Amino acid sequence: MELHTVILAAGQGTRMRSRLPKVLHPIAGCPMLAHVLNTARELGSTRIHVVYGHGGERVREQLDGDGLSWVPQAEQLGTGHAVMQALPAIPDKAVVLVLYGDVPLVRAATLRPLLAAGSEGLGILTTVLDDPAGYGRIVRDGAGNVQEIVEQKDADAGQLAIREINTGLLAAPAHLLHAWLKRCDNHNAQGEYYLTDVVARAVEDAVTVTAVSAADPIEVSGVNNREQLAGLERAWQQREANRLMAAGVTLLDPARFDLRGEMTCGLDVVIDVNCVFEGRVELGDGVRIGPNCVIRDSTLGAGVTVEAHSVLEQAQVEEDCIVGPFARLRPGAVLAAGARVGNFVEVKKARIGAGSKVNHLSYIGDAELGAGVNIGAGTITCNYDGVNKHRTIIEDGAFIGSDTQLVAPVTVGRNSVVGAGTTVTRDSEPDSLVVSRVPQKNIPGWSRRRR
């Protein structure tokens, strides 16, 4: 079966009150339209046709890719008119699936029965709402067969009482869909060409109309304003939280968890409240994440602990390390097994060797630390000369005293000791003591005379 997916993404989204096109507003850190594109690809679409209008070039710039066909809709004359813009590029033998760029939570598993129904006749996706106000109603005959979809503004009192509503998602053979749309008109309260009118045309042609029900209404909910956007964001996060908990992750409060990307976890991972995970994150067995942390595009090995208020970005943390609290690992930070990076420490493009410790108030950038190194509080690597970056190398077992400046390029030899308050500008031999302090001078009575 050749599947062509048409995604309607031309709406202006005026109720969003935003300069950003509606379909680019994010859910879980990803544009709504990108979620729909991912679902279409998961279904194996031969071609995806995106019908765009308002802000379309901006949408295209951000999301263009292989297998996408961009179809302009210069005038927004309704959903039926939008689909007609895409049909000339779709073979008659193909099955057409119609999705919406502002309905981002629909799952491929929900759409597969719809595709099966649409391969022979017309498949429509419906759901049942306690309050169906604003939606088109599914009108059935006495035998329960679908007869038509009536929009809210065109419905009579009896039809308004119907709770089964149209989601707008449908599937049908391309040649039939094209023929039905050619017979639709805009004689309705909106003066638009409704895609939903194809149901009545299919009934006229004695083509089977199959209603596939979506069990979870939130899955087929659309976004028209910021409140609805926030509601779907939380629904997405709850879905991901449930998936992780089912896999053995402990979330201390699933309502205060945010995943904006992809995350894989080992066994017995524990995540405290208000943590944000972005991009691709891997957590090994027994990882513990404290509250209020941000972890982005990073890998954490087994037994790692990240204390509260820490930020990790493009970092690699090997097993049994401790990070934080209030630590920042910037891109290129690598912590070997058992390393410790403590409070108010920043690490960038640097490797911290096995068992090494940078516990307090330090900056380690463009550096290579060996195993068993101890970095005292207030130490910085002076890696930038205003034009170029230079590396600092601290060999195994070195001890760096507090308030030390290491002016790169420089190497501190194996098992060397750098005294507190030292500015290191030259390489040291192994097993050396490095000191650059000004000799202390005590002046008796100075304070009394000053007063």
What is the tens place of the pLDDT at every residue in 260-273? 999 999 999 999 99
In this predicted structure, the answer to whether residue 451 has a pLDDT above a threshold of 70 is: no
Question: Per the omega criterion (within 30 degrees of 0), is the bond before 409 cis?
Answer: yes
Active site residues: 360
The rounded distance, in Å, linking the Cα atoms of 227 and 241 is 21
**Residue pointed to by tokens 């009536």:** 150
Q: What is the pLDDT of residue 375?
A: 98
pLDDT band at 444 (very low <50, low <70, confident <90, very high): confident
> Which CATH code fits 3-220?
3.90.550.10
Average pLDDT, stretch 433-438? 91
The rounded distance, in Å, linking the Cα atoms of 96 and 3 is 6
Q: Which two tokens stand for residue 237?
A: 């996060």
The rounded distance, in Å, linking the Cα atoms of 407 and 425 is 5
Burial class (CB within 10 angstroms; exposed 0-12, middle 13-18, buried 19+) of 107: middle
Angle at which helices 174-182 and 79-86 cross, to 10°: 130
- Which uninterrupted H or E stretch holds 31? strand 30-31
- Which uninterrupted H or E stretch holds 68? strand 68-72
Task: Render pLDDT for 203-230 as a digit per residue (tens, 0 to 9).
Answer: 999 999 999 999 999 999 999 999 999 9
- Domain 243-434, CATH homologous superfamily name and number: Hexapeptide repeat proteins (2.160.10.10)
CATH 2.160.10.10 maps onto the chain at 243-434
Phi, psi dihedrals of residue 177, rounded to the nearest 5°: -60, -40
In this predicted structure, the answer to whether residue 192 has a pLDDT above a threshold of 80 is: yes
Point out the least confidently predicted range of 59-63, 94-98, 122-126, 265-269. Answer: 59-63
CATH 3.90.550.10 maps onto the chain at 3-220
Task: Render pLDDT for 344-376 as a digit per residue (tens, 0 to 9).
Answer: 999 999 999 999 999 999 999 999 999 999 999
pLDDT band at 66 (very low <50, low <70, confident <90, very high): confident
More confident residue, 411 or 11: 411
The rounded distance, in Å, linking the Cα atoms of 187 and 76 is 16
Q: What is the pLDDT of residue 450?
A: 65
What is the DSSP annotation of 132-198? -TTS-EEEE-TTS-EEEEE-GGG--HHHHT--EEEEEEEEEEHHHHHHHHHT----STT-S--GGGH
Average pLDDT, stretch 394-422? 97
Q: What is the pLDDT of residue 183?
A: 92
Task: Render pLDDT for 44-53 as a digit per residue (tens, 0 to 9).
Answer: 999 999 999 8
Amino acid present at 252: L
Q: Which two tokens stand for residue 386?
A: 């205003």
User: Which residues lie below 8 Å from residue 134, measured CB to CB, with a gap of 6+?
Assistant: 152
**Residues facing residue 251 across a β-bridge:** 271
Q: What percent of the chain has pLDDT over 90?
A: 85
Q: Which two tokens stand for residue 76?
A: 């927004």
Q: Which two tokens stand for residue 308?
A: 């509260």
Burial class (CB within 10 angstroms; exposed 0-12, middle 13-18, buried 19+) of 57: exposed
Of 213, 193, 194, 12, which is closest to residue 127 (Cα–Cα)? 213
Contact in structure between 413 and 395 (CB atoms under 8 Å): yes
